[in-house]
C-alpha cells in the first residue's frame, strides 16, 4: 500500500504500508467466517472446504508479512512512535488471523453444523465479530495519514471516533455471545455432550475474534496518546 508520507521518499517504501497490508490480510481471513458457517449449515462441504482453504491461505500470508515486518522495519527511522510499538501492533493484528483460522479449523475438523435453533444467533455473532475486524482495519488504514501529520490534528479525532465505534461493536458481541450461550444452555440436554463442548469453544472463539479487533484499536489509541 503506497504512502504519501515524505519519509517514504527518504527510506523507500514506508514502513507503515506493510503494517496496513498485514491488517488487510488478517481481515481477509476473518471475513470468510459467516460464509463458512452458512456453507456448513447448508451441508455444502465442498464449498466449506474452499472457504477453509482461503482462510488458511490468508492466515499463512499474514504470518509471512508479520515476519517480514519484524525483519525489515527500520531501526533508525525517525518516527513519532517507537519501533517497538509498531511491532506490538503487528503482533496484535496477527491474532485476528490466527483466531479466524482456529475457529475454521474447529468447524471443519469436526464437520460442525450448528443446531438450527441457535444458527441465527451464531451467524449474528459471526457477522458482528467480523464487523469489529473491518472497523479495526479501517482505523489502521489511516495510520499513514497519522504518521504524516505527526499523530496530531483532525486525523486523530477521526481515528478516535472510529475506535469508539469499534468499542461499541465489541460490546455488542459481548451481549450476543451471552444470549447465544443462554440459548445453547437450554439445548444441552438434547445434544451430544462432546458436541456441546465444541459449540461453546467455537462460539467463544468468535468472541475472542472481536476482542482481538478491539485490542488493535486499543493499541492504536496508545499510539495516539504518545
pLDDT at 22 > cutoff 90: yes
- Higher per-residue pLDDT: 131 or 10: 131
Q: What percent of the chain has pLDDT over 70?
A: 88
pLDDT at 28 > cutoff 60: yes
**Is residue 203 very low, low, confident or very high in pLDDT (cuts 50, 70, 90)?**
very high
Mean pLDDT comparison of 67-76, 105-114, 142-151, highest-scoring range: 105-114
- Higher per-residue pLDDT: 168 or 4: 168
User: Which of these ranges, 9-18, 40-49, 95-104, 204-213, has the smallest mean pLDDT?
Assistant: 9-18
Per the CB < 8 A criterion, the answer to whether 20 and 144 are in contact is yes
Which three cell numbers mark 170?
Answer: 465489541
Q: What is the mean pLDDT of residues 8-28?
A: 76
Domains, the chain, ordered by start: 14-224 (1.20.58.220)
Q: What is the mean pLDDT of residues 31-55?
A: 98
Give Cα separations from 103 to 77, 126, 148 (angstroms). 38, 10, 37
Q: Tell me what pLDDT residue 8 has.
A: 40
Q: What percent of the chain has pLDDT over 90?
A: 73
Q: What is the mean pLDDT of residues 15-28?
A: 93
pLDDT at 24 > cutoff 50: yes
Neighbours of 204 (CB within 10 A): 13
Q: Tell me what pLDDT residue 83 has.
A: 82
Amino acid at each position: 500500500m503506497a504512502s504519501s508520507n515524505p519519509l517514504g521518499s527518504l527510506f523507500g517504501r514506508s514502513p507503515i504500508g506493510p503494517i496496513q497490508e498485514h491488517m488487510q490480510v488478517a481481515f481477509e481471513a476473518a471475513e470468510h467466517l459467516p460464509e463458512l458457517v452458512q456453507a456448513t449449515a447448508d451441508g455444502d462441504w465442498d464449498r466449506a472446504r474452499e472457504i477453509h482453504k482461503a482462510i488458511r491461505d490468508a492466515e499463512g500470508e499474514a504470518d509471512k508479512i508479520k515476519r517480514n515486518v519484524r525483519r525489515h522495519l527500520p531501526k533508525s527511522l525517525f518516527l513519532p512512535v517507537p519501533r517497538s510499538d509498531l511491532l506490538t501492533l503487528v503482533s496484535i493484528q496477527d491474532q485476528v488471523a490466527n483466531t479466524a483460522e482456529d475457529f475454521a479449523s474447529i468447524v471443519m475438523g469436526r464437520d460442525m453444523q450448528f443446531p438450527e435453533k441457535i444458527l441465527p444467533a451464531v451467524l449474528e455473532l459471526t457477522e458482528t465479530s467480523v464487523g469489529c475486524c473491518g472497523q479495526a482495519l479501517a482505523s489502521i488504514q489511516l495510520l499513514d495519514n497519522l504518521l504524516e501529520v505527526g499523530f496530531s490534528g483532525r486525523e486523530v479525532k477521526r481515528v478516535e471516533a472510529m475506535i469508539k465505534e469499534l468499542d461499541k461493536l465489541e460490546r455488542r458481541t459481548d451481549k450476543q455471545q451471552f444470549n447465544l450461550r443462554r440459548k445453547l444452555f437450554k439445548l444441552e440436554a438434547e445434544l451430544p455432550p462432546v458436541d456441546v463442548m465444541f459449540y461453546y469453544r467455537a462460539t467463544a472463539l468468535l468472541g475472542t475474534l472481536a476482542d482481538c479487533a478491539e485490542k488493535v484499536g486499543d493499541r492504536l489509541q496508545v499510539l495516539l496518546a504518545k
